[in-house]
Amino acid sequence: MISGTPARLIFEDCHFESYTSGSTFKAVSIATGVDRFVTFKNCMFTAVQNISSAVAPTGAIGITTMNGQVYMVNPYVYGYSQIVTADNAYVQVLGLNGLATGHLIGIAQGVDAA
């Protein structure tokens, strides 16, 4: 949870790993008071799958409003249903991996290695 009124936050080369049975879990929640920008540069957001009771959370980032933008620069998102649970103009994804169609835009899809 990024709370309070911090301004100009940058996370670089970070890894947010989760193992949850709660579909509403968020790796990061952005509070309304966050100011200017939050940048996640080359960060991984992964929700472990294929473990007992693990589920795909509905979104990696929780946000309703803020005074600025969230920038995800070259993110890697895996195991979540969406990057943000609902369409949100505050979150901008710049250079992403994954599918380019439907609600899975930017979500990496694992392929079983045979």
Q: pLDDT tens digit string along 43-85?
A: 999 998 888 889 989 899 999 888 999 998 888 888 998 888 7
The tens digit of pLDDT for each residue in 18-49 reads: 988 888 999 999 999 999 999 999 999 999 88
pTM: 0.82
What is the helix, strand, coil percentage profile of the chain, to 5?
5, 40, 60
Helix (H) and strand (E) counts for the chain? 0, 10
- Spatial CB neighbours of 37, under 8 Å, sequence gap ≥ 6: 8, 9, 68, 69, 70, 71
